[in-house]
A and B are shown apart, each in its own frame.
Chain A
Amino acid sequence: MNIQEGLLYTKEHEWVRIEADTAIMGITDYAQNALGDITFVELPAEGSEVEQSKMLATVESVKAASDVYAPLSGSINKINQDIIDSPELVNQSPYEKGWFVSISIKDEKEKSKFLNASDYKVYVEGLV
C-alpha cells in the first residue's frame, strides 16, 4: 500500500497537503483500493463553504456510494474537474492526478487532528 511521506492524513482515509494557507486534499491509496473501481465523483462548487468532518464529496464505486468528509473547514478554492470526467484517475493516481479539491484554510488549529504518514501507516495496519 502506498502511503506518501510529507502528507497529512485523517482516520477517514483522506490525505491533505498544506501549501501556505491552502490545503489540497484527496482520498488515500487504502481508500481507493477498498472502494474498488470508482465510477462517479460529486464535488462541492468552487466558492462554497465546508466544515471540518462534514460531508464534502460523494464517491461511487461499482458496488456502493460513500461520503468523503472535509478534513478542514474553509472555502473551496478549486476543484479537480478531471476526476469528474475520468473518475478512474482516483484509482490510478490517488495522491497526484486524483486530488479532489483545494480549500482556503479557515482555522489553523484544526490541523492538530491530522496523523503523519507513519502514524497513519500504523493506524491502517491495525484495520487489516
Chain B
Amino acid sequence: MEQTGLKQTPLFQMHKRLGAKFAPFGGWLMPIQYDGIIAEHNWTRQSASLFDICHMGEFLVSGGLSGSGLEKIATFNVSTIPQGSCRYGFMLNDNGGIIDDLIIYRLEEKKYMIVVNAATRGKDFEHIKKNLSSGATLEDISDNTAKLDLQGPLSQDLLTSFLGPDILGLKYYHFIEMTILNKQAIVSRTGYTGELGFEIYIDADSVPKMWETLLKNEKVKPAGLGARDTLRLEMGLPLYGQDLDEETTPLEAGFDRFIDFNKDFIGKDILLKQREQGLAKRLILFISDTRRSPRHNDKIIVEKKDVGAVTSGSFSPSLGKGIGMGYVENGYDWLGSKIVVKNERTELLAQITDKPFYKSGSARK
C-alpha cells in the first residue's frame, strides 16, 4: 500500500481500519470505496455519508478590498459576495481556458477563503499570487486544514445533534464559523452530491476525532471517492481534469451563469469573442439505452461522423443505466437527439438529455 510520492490525509489509518480500497487521486492516496460504490451511493441519497475530502486545497486572501486582485482572477463577482456566503465559478487563463473551478468564501470584509482542487493546488497558488495586487496577502492553509463532507437528506439532523442548532438556519451556499472540538471551524451548506449536505473545514489535528464522532451514529456511513464520482455525475456536475481543463472555456462547458460579463477578469475577451462568433464545441449530457456505461475517451458518433469524445462516464445507480458527459462539435448538441458511443471494445446507443440526470436531490430543499 506504500506508494511513493503520494500524500495521505490525516484519516488514512482510519480508512485502513475500515477496510477501504485506495487509489491515487490528484497526488493523494485516497479511499475509493469501503462497502461498495453502489451501496455508498444509495446510502448518500437516502441517509447520510461522510467523505474525507482533506486532499482539496484552501487558500486565504486578505487585504485591500477592491485592490485584492481577486476580481480579476474569478469569473464571478467577488466584491458582492455577502459575508457568510460563498460562490462557485472559475479562474481562467489568457485564452479563456479553465485553470480551475473554485469556491470563494467571504469570511470577513477583507478576508476570503478560496477552495481549489487537489491536483491543481500548486498552479492555482502561482496564478493567484501572480495576479494579486500588492496590498493583498495570499496564504496556502491546505496542510493544516482538513475537510469533511457530510452529505445526505439526514445530514442536517445528524450534524445538529453534534454541533447544536446554529447550523439549522443555513441556506444553500451559506456558511458559519464556529468552534468544534475547541478549534475554529467553518461549516458550509454546500456539496458535490446533489443532496442536502455540509462541507466542514476544520483543523487537521481535530479531524480524526470529528470523523470518529460522526460515524458513531449508525445513520452515517463512510463513502469514498467512487461514490462521490457517481453522485456528482448524476447531478451533471463537472470534475476538473476530466470534464474541464485549460483547453476548455466555461461557455463551452455550459456554465454561462457563473460568469459576470459586467466586470473585468482574465480571459474575458476570448469569452466575448466566443459569444459573438459561436462555440467550436459544447458539453452534452447523455443517457445510455441500457445498463452499459460510456467511458472516458469513448468516441461520440452521430450519423457515422466522429463529432466528439466522452469526458466522464459511469453506471448510474439511481437510474439503473449508463450515463455520461462529453464534448461534441457545435450543432450536434440538440436535446433528445441520439448518439452512438463507441470504443474499440463495443458501442452503445444513448440520448442527449438535460441536467441533472437525477432529479430528486435534497440539496436545495
Contact = CB atoms under 8 A, between A and B. Distances in A.
A36 B291 CA distance: 16
Contacts of A64: 295
B346 interface: yes
B314 interface: yes
Given A65-B345, A91-B36, 5 more contacts: A42-B346, A60-B315, A61-B315, A62-B230, A62-B317
B292 interface: yes
A37 interface: yes
A120 interface: no
Interface string B25-39: 000000001001111
Interface string B2-35: 0000000000000000000100000000000100
A8 B315 CA distance: 32
A30 interface: no
A58 B345 contact: yes
B292 A36 contact: no
B34 to A, nearest CB: 11
A40 B292 contact: yes
A39 B291 contact: yes
A36 B293 contact: no
Contact of A36 (B33, B317, B345): B33
B290 interface: yes
A65 B292 CA distance: 9
A64 B33 CA distance: 14
12 contacts: A36-B21, A36-B226, A40-B292, A42-B292, A60-B291, A62-B293, A62-B315, A63-B37, A63-B226, A63-B314, A65-B293, A65-B345
Interface of B: 21, 33, 36-39, 226, 230, 290-293, 295, 314-315, 317, 322, 345-346
Interface residues of A, number: 16
Nearest to A88: B38
Contacts of B226: 36, 62-63
B293 A40 contact: yes
Pick the most buried of B38, B230, B290, B322: most chain A CB atoms within 10 A of its CB: B38
Interface in A8-57: 36-37, 39-40, 42
A40 B37 contact: no
Given A58-B346, A62-B314, A37 B36 contact: yes
B233 to A, nearest CB: 10
B310 to A, nearest CB: 13
Contacts of A61: 315
B346 A40 contact: no
Nearest to B343: A65
